[in-house]
Structure 1
Amino acid sequence: MTAQLALDDAGLRRLLHGLPPVDQVGADARAARLGTRSIKTTAKAEALDLAVRMVDLTTLEGADTPGKVRALCAKGAHPEPDQPECPSVAAICVYGDMVATAKAALAGTGIKVASVATAFPSGRAPLAVKLADTAAAVEAGADEIDMVIDRGAFLSGRYGAVAEEIAAVKQACRTGGHDAHLKVILETGELATYDNVKRASWLAMLSGADFIKTSTGKVSPAATLPVTLLMLESVRDFRAQTGRQVGVKPAGGIRTAKDAIKYLVTVNETAGPDWLSPDWFRFGASSLLNDLLLQRRKLATGVYSGPDYVTVD
């Protein structure tokens, strides 16, 4: 553990509550201004392709089957089969029991397999269960683990417990000599305030997160532009203070290419171009890819394709 994480709850409270407070009105206004930026045709084409490359194509349903996961993997690898220049997605995100299926389907593509773990989406389980959940996904071949923090512990001020749990899950990501990246889901819709979002972001990063992620997609509100802006400011400032770069993943509710471009503008204007890469920014989404493909086709042909042009996942 780092020196900060060796602190007790009172010490972590002093550290986290010592962060500059968030001007909520200012954050909302800045996000709204960034959301009005327009980009020209050539830049838009590049932005659409970049957004495709940043998608964690996701299925997290109780009715998921191996066939559905294989079909999703095929779509992620070749989003437009008749256009080989169309990039593939960054990752396929599934439940742990589907990791081996996704890994086999994606062999040789370079696409990552991400798995939710730690009693997703509630996080309500003993630590031993969460660590076993993580280790099983890593052993099955997961390249990335998306964990959820204990929001109850965080909101009750038990910051040390949250930090220790994140650090333990990070260690479990190294099961069997692997080194899976750890995305820490804050579930910002349950954190109530922007100051809590900022504190949870810093706590996750101090505890070893490789990415901080807004949401599970199971709670409303999920990803929002102002919250993502705050998280981008946090990773920017964290790198300035520590030298370590951490990624950001908004997830849930991002469905249109127009919205995705707003997020990319916010990344560039807030954290900077170093984060404009799938290594440092992702979209957690299931339906976003379809609209990105429709908009790519519109730029290429000048006409909108019908809804049957894309598959319904």
Structure 2
Amino acid sequence: MSPTSATSQARELLGVSSLTNKALRTWLYGLPGVDQVGLEGRAAALATRSIKTDSKAWAIDTAIGMIDLTTLEGADTPGKVRSLCAKAELPDPTDLSTPQVAAVCVYGDLVGVAKDALRGSDINVAAVATAFPSGRATLPVKLADTRDAVEAGADEVDMVIDRGAFLAGDYRLVFDQIAAVKQACARPDDAPDAHLKVILETGELATYDNVRRASWLAMLAGADFIKTSTGKIQPAATMPVTLLMLEAVRDWRELTGAMVGVKPAGGIRTSKDALRYLVMVSEIAGDDWLTPQWFRFGASSLLTDLLLQRQKLRTGAYSGADYVTID
């Protein structure tokens, strides 16, 4: 989707002839307000749902297949990325039936290393871009960052919105930047475009109403996924925030017929937590979202606990953490 077509679609949905900041503000503030008590109560109630033993094996395998295995440190090396890719392809060397993860996520300059290591597999390579994690850069720099990752072979791009602009009420600037980055994800000819995951950094948005508005703004501008967090800011992913985002993609589908994915990232560490999220996906958005195409976990440490729980179901005994590889 080009910036022009994103703007045209947004004008049509908003029912305006010109997509101004005022028009976006009026529309976003016209969204229903969030009942904080009701939202947090529903999230807490869904967290009490249990998954029976015969369904737990399916749920654990489903969660493994939804993980974006990630390393985003200044000290990342090609060797570390290759090691992470090996784990992505073979999460549990003692059990070859273990599913592979959905993607490996790295900084843009290491995309080539990951692509080479994962050659022949179905695992995607995702790159963070647009001056991750702060988003503090000019648009030309953000677009260059994105194009570098795409040219290196990234299948997915995780961008961060300009939270300062959003909190200042400059919604048109945020919209324009997302739409421009979406265009930068395009590839020539018939090659598939890189999918765009838009990180809202919900821990900095202050209110649930802002999370709802940011979710809708990102979808208006062409996001393929909306993502909670960079993992660098606390709080990161929470169940109430993810519930809000699941409601947004569900309602977007009802409005437009198009599906958008959701990715909670940061702070999801246990199998119990992951299964609670899967229950919430099913209850709020629907089972169509229970695939890696539409739901991801940005939580690398989660994989270790999922593998240990999987081993327990298979053998009846709980192994120690040294029975799986540690990132």
TM > 0.5: yes
Equivalent position SS for 2:33: coil
- Taking only aligned residues, the RMSD between alpha carbons, in angstroms, comes to 0.9
d(CA) in 1 for partners of 2:89 and 2:274? 20
2:41 is aligned with what amino acid? A
Equivalent position SS for 1:287: helix
- Equivalent residue in structure 2 for 1:4, among 7, 10, 19: 10
* 1:290 CA displacement: 0.4
**1:113 corresponds to 2:120:** no
Task: State the Cα deviation string for residues 15-66 of structure 1 (Å, max 9, x = none).
Answer: 1000011111100000000001111111000000000000000000001000
d(CA) in 2 for partners of 1:173 and 1:26? 38
Is contact 1:4–1:12 with CA below 8 Å preserved after alignment? no
Is contact 1:9–1:158 with CA below 8 Å preserved after alignment? yes
* 1:285 CA displacement: 1.3
**1:183 corresponds to 2:197:** yes
Partner of 1:148: 160
* 1:67 CA displacement: 0.5
Is contact 2:304–2:321 with CA below 8 Å preserved after alignment? no
Partner of 2:273: 259
Aligned residues: 313
d(CA) in 2 for partners of 1:58 and 1:288? 11
TM-score, length-normalised on structure 2? 0.94
d(CA) in 1 for partners of 2:314 and 2:97? 12
d(CA) in 2 for partners of 1:189 and 1:19? 21
Partner of 2:217: 203
Equivalent position SS for 1:67: helix
Partner of 2:3: none
Partner of 1:217: 231
TM-score, length-normalised on structure 1? 0.99
1:94 is aligned with what amino acid? V
Give the alignment of 1:1-313 within 5 angstroms: 1-4=7-10, 6-177=18-189, 178=191, 179-313=193-327
Task: State the Cα deviation string for residues 156-180 of structure 1 (Å, max 9, x = none).
Answer: 1100000000000000001445500
1:255 is aligned with what amino acid? R
d(CA) in 2 for partners of 1:119 and 1:252? 19
Is contact 2:157–2:197 with CA below 8 Å preserved after alignment? yes
Task: State the Cα deviation string for residues 227-265 of structure 1 (Å, max 9, x = none).
Answer: 000000000000000111000000001111110000000
Identity among equivalent positions (%) equals 71
1:277 is aligned with what amino acid? T
Partner of 2:14: none
Equivalent position SS for 1:297: helix
Displacement over 6 Å in runs of 4+: none
2:218 is aligned with what amino acid? A
1:286 is aligned with what amino acid? S
Is contact 1:139–1:176 with CA below 8 Å preserved after alignment? no
d(CA) in 2 for partners of 1:4 and 1:41? 46
Is contact 1:144–1:180 with CA below 8 Å preserved after alignment? yes
* 1:312 CA displacement: 1.6
Equivalent position SS for 1:7: coil
d(CA) in 2 for partners of 1:296 and 1:97? 34
d(CA) in 2 for partners of 1:302 and 1:167? 50
Equivalent position SS for 1:85: coil
* 1:3 CA displacement: 4.5
d(CA) in 1 for partners of 2:165 and 2:51? 43
Is contact 2:246–2:284 with CA below 8 Å preserved after alignment? yes
d(CA) in 2 for partners of 1:12 and 1:233? 20
1:30 is aligned with what amino acid? R
